Amino acid sequence: MRLTKKAAALAMASCMALSLTACGGGSTTETTAAGGDAAETTAAGDTTEAAETGEVANKDKPLVWFNRQPSNSSTGELDMAAMSFNDNTYYVGFDANQGAELQGTMVRDYIEANIDTIDRNGDGVIGYVLAIGDIGHNDSIARTRGVRNALGTGVEANGEINSAPVGTNTDGTSTIVQDGTIEVNGTTYTIRELASQEMKNSAGATWDAATAGNAINTWSASFGDSIDVVVSNNDGMGMSMFNAWSKDNGVPTFGYDANSDAVAAIAEGYGGTISQHADVQAYLTLRVLRNALDGVDIDTGIGTADEAGNVLTDDVYVYNADERSYYALNVAVTADNYQDFMDSTVTYAPVSNQLDAAEHPEKAVWLDIYNAADNFLSATYQPLLQKYDDLLNLKVDYIGGDGQTEANIVNRLGNPSQYDAFAINMVKTDNAASYTALLSQ
Ligand code: BGC
């Protein structure tokens, strides 16, 4: 459908009448650019070759980064150049700090509630081991910090809690962490991070569940009696450790993601997990593309109901305009409420209404998952995306990476001109430029 100049002008005028912020905070001409007809909708004076032929240049197409936020893997600094690549570029993830605090608090609450039985060898030290996903991924870093903060084992380094793995620390002498204390009913207990390690396999894949299973076997063989709690940056690794050792030994294990298998395992002693509201994230990932392609206010069907009734409330997400990022909020899933989270692939009801295909015609989207073997992305996120792509009339090509080689994914975006929009999940958060360079060609 071509937008006539008159229609575009009318849309712009009504948008301006509503107020600028209601139209996504930017210029209307820019937010509609990717919609369909660049020649008529791009800012005046922009007569690129693509615009003249009525096609949108790849560099102007809607782009959403998701799950791995473009950022410096050493410092965590956000890569704003990537997140503002064009006027229709966004990031979709979840609130890492809020979730990390929830995870830490969940573990601490469990220890307090079970203080009479938790210290398995009765030595007065509550020992835990920690599986770290990716030392260069800010979500993983936040979770490590959240657990250390809640348990009092964190040590500050450069104003923030050190998130480095300790290796082993059974004697409590590590300088990366410290012994924490917890007081329950007048008794003080020591909490110690006995061991932690980045779960990276020999080929380089991070968040690697099999590596975590091997690690718990090694740890338990040498100091199993001291391990009272197992904590993991995600459920993939957490479940691997649970199945390899902690389930049989009655040791509570905590993860993150609320994948269906982990939620089910709560009935068998898995301690708990955090839902990062993947149902909201998967929706937002595709919804921002849909809105940009439709040339409507980016808030449509998000903070503002669309004509089908889709709308999110602010208890499930926040939008940070400076970071051009949508962050879903997290919820703790424990023995108290796990029955409500048994299927992690169910779409979120308030945004599950079908869009009309005449008003929102099919568009082609290229989307990659950095590691086809990642438990969370393959068992929870992608099934959700596949339900939302139907509801939003998007034809999505799903590309699965090996978790290690960015080039393996980038090379499969051979002809970006075939697509109307892109959704990118990077192997390494530093690598945004490998994608944007391709789109800029
Ligand atoms: C999830 C992990 C997953 C990672 C991949 C995180 O948000 O919690 O399970 O491996 O994303 O980037």
Tell whether 82 and 9 lie within a shared domain: yes
Tell whether 120 and 226 lie within a shared domain: yes
Q: 336 CA distance to ligand 1 centroid (A)? A: 24
Tell whether 85 and 147 lie within a shared domain: no
Query: Which residue of 240, 257, 280, 404 sits with most ligand 1 atoms within 8 Å of its CB, as the best mutation to test the pocket?
Result: 257
Tell whether 309 and 216 lie within a shared domain: no
* Alpha-carbon distances of 289 from 16, 179, 226, 424, rounded to whole Å: 22, 47, 50, 12
Query: Which residue of 65, 67, 201, 424 sits with most ligand 1 atoms within 8 Å of its CB, as the best mutation to test the pocket?
Result: 67
Query: Which residue of 200, 376, 428 sits with most ligand 1 atoms within 8 Å of its CB, as the best mutation to test the pocket?
Result: 376
pLDDT, tens digit (0-9, with 9 covering 90-100), for 86-97: 999 999 999 999
Domain boundary among 251, 285, 304: 251
Tell whether 153 and 228 lie within a shared domain: yes
- The residue whose CA is least distant from atom 3 of ligand 1 is 376
Q: Which of 193, 229, 191, 233 is nearest to 212 (CA)?
A: 233
Tell whether 311 and 431 lie within a shared domain: yes
pLDDT, tens digit (0-9, with 9 covering 90-100), for 255-292: 999 999 999 999 999 999 999 999 999 999 999 999 99
Domain boundary among 233, 251, 269: 251
Report whether residue 67 contacts ligand 1, using a CB cutoff of 6 Å.
yes
What is the structure's pLDDT at 157?
86
102 within some domain: no
Task: Give the range of the structural domain holding residue 78, as residue numbers without chain letter.
Answer: 5-93+277-320+345-439
336 within some domain: no
Q: Which atom of ligand 1 lies at the shortest distance from residue 68's CA?
A: 12
pLDDT, tens digit (0-9, with 9 covering 90-100), for 211-225: 999 999 999 999 999
pTM as predicted: 0.87
**Among the ranges given (68-72, 74-78, 379-383, 409-413), the one the predictor scored with the smallest mean pLDDT:** 74-78
Report the domain count for the chain: 2
213 within some domain: yes
Tell whether 151 and 214 lie within a shared domain: yes
Adjacent-strand bridge partners of 202: none
Q: Does position 8 have pLDDT exceeding 60, yes or no?
A: no
Q: Does position 30 have pLDDT exceeding 80, yes or no?
A: no
Tell whether 426 and 286 lie within a shared domain: yes
107 within some domain: no
User: How far, in Å, CA of 109 to CA of 96, rounded?
Assistant: 20
Tell whether 313 and 360 lie within a shared domain: yes
56 within some domain: yes
Q: 234 CA distance to ligand 1 centroid (A)? A: 7
Report whether residue 208 contacts ligand 1, using a CB cutoff of 6 Å.
no
* φ/ψ (deg, to 5) at 41: -110, -15
**Among the ranges given (43-57, 125-139, 190-204, 420-434), the one the predictor scored with the smallest mean pLDDT:** 43-57
Domain boundary among 234, 251, 268: 251
Q: What is the mean pLDDT of the chain?
A: 90
Q: 156 CA distance to ligand 1 centroid (A)? A: 25
What is the structure's pLDDT at 1?
36
Tell whether 161 and 85 lie within a shared domain: no
Q: What is the mean pLDDT of residues 221-238?
A: 98
Contact yes or no for 425/67 (Cβ under 8 A): yes
* φ/ψ (deg, to 5) at 365: -125, 135
Q: Does position 3 have pLDDT exceeding 70, yes or no?
A: no
Confidence of residue 54 (pLDDT cuts 50, 70, 90): low
Tell whether 306 and 246 lie within a shared domain: no
Query: Which residue of 276, 374, 384, 430 sits with most ligand 1 atoms within 8 Å of its CB, as the best mutation to test the pocket?
Result: 374
68 within some domain: yes
Q: Which of 44, 51, 48 is nearest to 29 (CA)?
A: 44
CATH of the domain at 174: 3.40.50.2300
404 within some domain: yes
Q: 53 CA distance to ligand 1 centroid (A)? A: 41
267 within some domain: no
Report whether residue 256 contacts ligand 1, using a CB cutoff of 6 Å.
yes
Report whether residue 139 contacts ligand 1, using a CB cutoff of 6 Å.
yes
Tell whether 432 and 308 lie within a shared domain: yes
pLDDT, tens digit (0-9, with 9 covering 90-100), for 106-155: 999 999 999 999 999 999 999 999 999 999 999 999 999 999 999 999 99
- The residue whose CA is least distant from atom 7 of ligand 1 is 67
Contact yes or no for 402/205 (Cβ under 8 A): yes
